[in-house]
Structure 1
C-alpha cells in the first residue's frame, strides 16, 4: 500500500512541476512573441502539445524512479511510454506545421505577380501532407516496436531483402502511384495551386493538390476531382505556368463589304478605356473568308485569366454594338441570284466559245503534257485494228 501511495505522490508532484515549468516557458515565449511573429505562432500552436509531452515524460520518469513495485507496474509504465511517444509526435508535428505556416504567410498569393509564391505554396502544402503522413507512420511504428513480439518480427522483416520487394509491389499499386505523382507535381512545376488550367474540356483553377487527388474549381463553382496521376499521364492546358498574363480572342463574323480599319480603331478605343486590359496586346485580324462572311478575330491580353474572360466578353459586346450602330451594312447577309424562268435543256444553246476546246480547259488530254498525264493515270489507249472487207 505504501508503494502505491508513493507512486501517486510522485506522479502528482512530477505533473505539478511539469505544468509550472511549461506555463513559465509559455509566458516567456508569449512575451517574446510581441516582437517576433514566429515566437507568437509557437506560443499559440505548441502550448498544448508541449504541455502534454513534458507532463507525460515527467510522470513516466517519476513512476520509474520513485514508485516501487506495485500490481500492474509494467503495464502502467508501458502505457506511459506509448503516451509519451504520441505526445512527442504531436509536438514535432506542431512545430513543423508552424514553420510551414510561417513560410506560407511570407509568400502571399493575393498579389499580381505571384508565380513564385504559388510555386512555394504548392510545395509547402505538399510537404505538409507528406510530413503529417510520415510522422503518423513513424509514430505508429515506434509504438509497435515497444512490444517485444512485434519488435522481433520487425527486426526479421527489416533484415530480410523481402522488404524491398514489398515496397516495390506496393508502389506499383494505384494508390501509391498517385502519391508519387503528387510529389512529382509539387516539385516539377507542372501545376501549382491557383494555376488556371483546361482539363476535360473544362476551364478552371487548381484549388487544392493532395497526395492522391487534385481539386479543380470550375469557372461556374463546380469542383472537378481528378487523381494526381491524371496530370502526369494525360495532356492538359496550363495558362499560367510561366506567368499569370494570358491572351484571349473574341471573334465576330461580318459581311465582305465591311471596312476593317474603323473596326480596328474601335477595338483599340475599347481596350484603352477598360481597366481589364494590361496595355500589351490589342490586335484585330481577318482570320477567315468563307460562306459569304469574313471572320474578325480580336486578340487582347489581360493580367490573369479571370480578367481576360471579362475583357473578351466586353470586346465582343462593344464591337457588335458598334457595328450595328455605325456599319449596319457590315451585318452578314445572304446573297442569291434569281432568274425569271428556267429554259428546258432542249432549248438551251450549246456553248461553242473560243475556249470550249482549248487545251487550257483540259488536264488529262490535249497537248503533249495533257496526253502524257492521261496515259499515267488512265493507262494506254487500246488500238482497235481496222476491219478488212
Structure 2
C-alpha cells in the first residue's frame, strides 16, 4: 500500500510540477505579449505549452519513478527508462518544431506588416512555408535517428550500415529519381520566384490561384472551386502562364459583333460612362475601336483594365452585358443581321 501511495505521489507530483511550470511560462509569455504588441512572437510561443508539458513531465518521471519502489516498475526499470527516453526525444522534437514555427511565423508577420510590395510578401510566404516543411522533416528524421540509436541492436549494426551507406544511397537515388526531382524543383520554385502562394496561373488550360506549395506538389484552386494538384517539377519543365508575376494588374478585351451602321463614337461614349460607375474597373486604361470587318458585320473591341484577374473577369462580363443591352435598346439596327431574302431564280437557258 505504501509503495502504491508513493507511485501516486510521484505521478501526481510530476504532473503538478510540470503543469505549474507550463502555466508560469504561459503567464510570462502572455505578459511579454501585452508589453510588446509590435511582435507576435510571445503570443505564438504560447502554442508550445503542450510539447513543453510533455518534455517536463517525462523528464521528472525519468528522475523520480525509481523512488516509488513499486515492484512492477523495479522489475521493468530498464524498459520504463527506455520508454521515457523515447517520449523525451519525441517531445523534444515536437517542442523544437513548435518553437521554430513561432520564430519563423513571427519574423514573416513583422516583415509582411512593414512591406508594401504584395508580390514580395507572397514570395517570402512561399519560402517560409517550404523552409518550415524542411525544418519539420529534418527534425523528425534526426529525432527518429536518435530514437533508433537507443536500441542496442541498431548500435551493434551501426558499423555495417555506415559501410553500406554508399550502395544504399545509390540504390535509393535511382529508385527515387522522381521524388528527388520534385524535391529540388520545390526549392527552385521557392527561391527562384517562379510561383508564389496567391499567384494567378494558367496550367493545362485551367485558370486558378496557387493555394498550396509543398516540396513535392503544388495545388491550384480553380475559379469553380476545384483543386488541381500538380507535381512541382511540372512548373520547372513546362511553360505556364503566371498572371501575377510583375504585378497583379491585368488588361482584358471584349469583342462585340455589330452591323456596319453601328455608331462607334456613341458606343465609345457609352462605354466610358459605364466604366465610371463600374466598381471593378481600376481606371488605368480603356479603349473602344473597330478591329475587323467582314461582308456581314464589323468587330468592335472594348479594352478595359482591373487590379487583378477576378476583377478583370467581372469587368469584362459587365461591359459585354451593358454594350449588348445598350445596342438592343438604343440602336437595334446596329445589331448583326442575318440575310434571309430569297435569291433570284436563275434564268433558264
TM-score higher than 0.5:
yes
Q: Does residue 39 in structure 1 map to residue 42 in structure 2?
A: yes
Q: Does 1:142 align with 2:142?
A: no
Q: Does residue 294 in structure 1 map to residue 289 in structure 2?
A: no
Secondary structure of 1:156's counterpart equals: helix
* Equivalent-residue separation in structure 2 for 1:196 and 1:112 (angstroms): 19
Shift of 1:311: 0.4
Deviations 1:293-333 (A, max 9, x none): 22111111101111111100111111112222333332112
Unaligned runs of 5+ in 1: 348-389
* Residue matched to 1:224: 228
Kept in 2, the 8 Å contact 1:177–1:229? The answer is yes
Q: 1:249 to 1:151 in 2, by over 3 A?
A: farther
Q: How does 1:307-326 map to 2 (within 5 A)?
A: 307-326=311-330
Q: Does 1:169 align with 2:174?
A: yes
Secondary structure of 2:215's aligned partner:
coil
Shift of 1:93: 1.0
Q: Deviations over 1:338-366 (max 9, x none)?
A: 7654234xx6xxxxxxxxxxxxxxxxxxx
The question of whether the paired residues in 2 share the 8 Å contact of 1:113 and 1:244 is answered with: no
Higher relative contact order (CA 8 A, sep 6+): 2
Structure 1 contact 107–121 (Cα < 8 Å) conserved: no
Please give the residue correspondences for 1:192-341 in structure 2 after superposition, counting only pairs within 5 Å.
192-290=196-294, 292-334=296-338, 340-341=344-345
CA distance in 1, matches of 2:21, 2:343: 106
Q: CA-atom RMSD, angstroms?
A: 3.3
CA distance in 2: counterparts of 1:283 and 1:46, whole angstroms: 57
SS in 2 for 1:192: coil
For the residues of structure 1 that align with 2:180 and 2:69, how far apart are their CA atoms? 47
User: CA separation of 1:330/1:6 partners in 2, compared to 1, >3 Å: closer, same or farther?
Assistant: closer
> Conserved in 2, the CA contact under 8 Å of 1:82 and 1:143?
yes
Instruction: Find the aligned partners of 2:230 and 2:295 in 1 and give their Cα distance.
Output: 41
Q: Distance in 1 between matches of 2:342 and 2:116?
A: 60
Distance 2:116 2:41 in 1: 26
Q: Which residue of 1 aligns with 2:60?
A: 58
SS at match of 2:302: strand
Say if 1:33 and 1:41, in contact at 8 Å, map to a contact too.
no
Deviation, 1:274, is: 1.5
Q: Deviations over 1:220-253 (max 9, x none)?
A: 2222222322222222211112111111111101
Q: Secondary structure at the match of 2:137?
A: helix
Which is higher, the Rg of structure 1 or of structure 2? 1
**SS state of the match for residue 52, structure 1?**
helix
Q: 2 CA distance for matches of 1:217 and 1:128? A: 22
CA–CA distance in structure 1, aligned partners of residues 246 and 5 of structure 2: 69
CA contact (8 A) 1:64 1:77 kept: no
* Equivalence for 2:26: 26
Q: Does 1:88 align with 2:92?
A: yes
Pick closer, same or farther for the CA change 1:274–1:339 going to 2, 3 Å: closer
Q: Is the 8 A contact 2:66 2:74 kept in 1?
A: no
Deviations 1:24-53 (A, max 9, x none): 33322222222233212212x011211211
TM-score, length basis structure 1: 0.76
Deviates more, 1:334-343 or 1:147-156: 334-343
Structure with bigger helix share is: 2
Distance in 2 separating the partners of 1:334 and 1:2 = 103
| Structure 2 CA distance for partners of 1:199 and 1:291, relative to 1, 3 Å | farther
**What SS class does the counterpart of residue 80 from structure 1 fall into?**
helix
**TM, length-normalised to structure 2:** 0.84
**Larger deviation, residues 245-254 vs 125-134:** 125-134
Distance 1:205 1:262 in 2: 38
Residue 50 of structure 2: which of 44, 48, 51 is its match?
A: 48
Instruction: Give, in whole Å, the separation in 2 of the partners of 1:83 and 1:23.
Output: 21
- For residues 158 and 11 of structure 2, the distance between their equivalents in structure 1, rounded to whole angstroms, comes to 33
Q: Structure 1, residues 259-298: CA drift from partner, whole Å, max 9, x if none?
A: 4222222222222222211111202232222352221111
The structure-2 alpha-carbon separation of the partners of 1:145 and 1:67, relative to structure 1 and needing over 3 Å to count, comes to farther
